[in-house]
Amino acid sequence: MSEPLEGIGVLRLALEAGEVSALELVEAARAREDAVGTRVQALLHPRWEAARNEAVASDQRRAAGGVRSALDGIPIVLKDNIVQREEPATCASKILEGYRSPFSATAVERLTDAGAIVVSRANMDEFAMGSSTENSVRGPSRNPWDLERAPGGSSGGSAAAVASGIVPAAFGSDTGGSIRQPAAFCGVVGMKPTYGRVSRWGLVAFASSLDQIGPFARTAADCATLLDVVSGHDPRDSTSLPEPALHTSAALDGDVSGLVIGIPKQTLALEGLAPGVRDRVGEAVAELERAGAKTREISLPNMQYGIAAYYLICTAEASSNLARFDGVRYGLRVEGPEGGITPMYEYTRSAGFGDEVKRRILLGTYALSAGYYDAYYRKAQQVRTLLRQDFAAAFEACDVIATPTTPEAAFRIGEKTADPLAMYLADVFTVSANLAGLPGVSVPCGFDAGLPVGLQILGPSLEDARVMKVADAYQRRTDYHEQRPGL
């Protein structure tokens, strides 16, 4: 069986030393996918031949002294809702089968300009709607630590591809925790930037005021390298912050002395929090205290309303965003037997969308309908404002906030599919950061019954480097990120 690929930092040094070529890295990724891919089911639409050609070009640049960046020659995968020119972009949905994008997302342009090599797209919950990567037209991805368990969602394919060693890095999207939650389940690092730090141009929209592109890798340092490349203002995205590209890597010095970590009293007292998760997170915070950080109890009094507010806002935005998939312009078209445009809309959407997508469209349309807008959608937005105020007050007393990433370790595939509310509660610790637009990272902090547990670090808006600094400092003192699943 082929060996898993190491992290970006290790591979970059090997490339610089001439110990390996970019072409050999692509071939190694292909060999690893051949060895474990049918069991993990992380990838969709591989592009191995194109990746080989790009690797050859990277090796030629290196030989000529023209290396573009630390990512030059590094293989990565993209979640199937981040478009790349002339490549499939199906969002793991039947309604977009056969669609190829005529352009690349800004994040993808910046990655390929830096020399990174996209080897495949990654499986996901259809249109990023889910917490388990079970809602895919291609079937579920599986957790490399236990193939009977979910890798998390909706970016589960990206997280599983990194955890299983197919690639050293991947990109996903985070609307309510869809990077951080699968990172926790799969024992890798996943980072959600401040809203607007990374352009959403070319990200197929789920909930436009919540969506954010972010990286997966084995270490916080590798995530910082990826984030620095894709961040920065983009005039094509009206929500892009007028800020320069980040230089997060420069902040990773391992020093957290004097830094104050806020511990929300509402999180560790949450009903349903697994004891093993609570213990591992407590041990992680204690490790940061030994490194010189201080802790302080804080309160986020409106956090309990986050899930309800999130699922009203995200479904309302989804019902608007997904109206474009109508069988007219692209993707699937199913004509009704009676003819006419309205039956075509109905038959196309009925055949093309999966159950979870239909459920969320119906919920969102209901919340926005006349007579219910004020009672539901407006109230959810008011809660969103209260959450932002809670975080602003909390960050006056602390520098970062630490919580579990998820209330439990990875659950079994099929365990929660019959109970959508139980599935939605898997995001209880992550949705608030999206509602408030804050940066957050999940870092491996141990195991519960052999399954990875994630520590979530949240920071104030624009303090992406601060949360990565804390995650990196923790990883310098622990080795959980070095442990591998026994595939």
**Residues annotated catalytic, as ranges:** 79, 154, 178
- Alpha-carbon distance of 150 to 198, in angstroms, equals 28
Residue type, 257: S
User: How many CB atoms lie under 10 A from the CB of residue 50?
Assistant: 16
Spatial contact of 130 and 149, defined as CB atoms under 8 Å apart = no
Q: What is the CB-side half-sphere exposure of residue 183 using CA atoms within 13 A? A: 38
Taking the chain, what is the end-to-end CA distance rounded to the nearest angstrom?
A: 9
Q: Tell me how long the chain is.
A: 487
The DSSP string of 92-129 is T-GGGTT-B-SS--HHHHHHHHTT-EEEEEE--SGGG-
Q: What is the CA radius of gyration of the chain?
A: 21
Q: Where are the beta strands (DSSP E) in 229-318?
A: 260-264, 294-298
Torsion angles phi and psi, residue 31, rounded to 5: -65, -40
Residue 364 structure tokens: 């969102």
3-state helix, strand, coil in the chain (%, to 5): 45, 15, 45
CA distances from residue 434 to 46, 213, 350, 405 in whole angstroms, order as listed: 30, 12, 30, 13
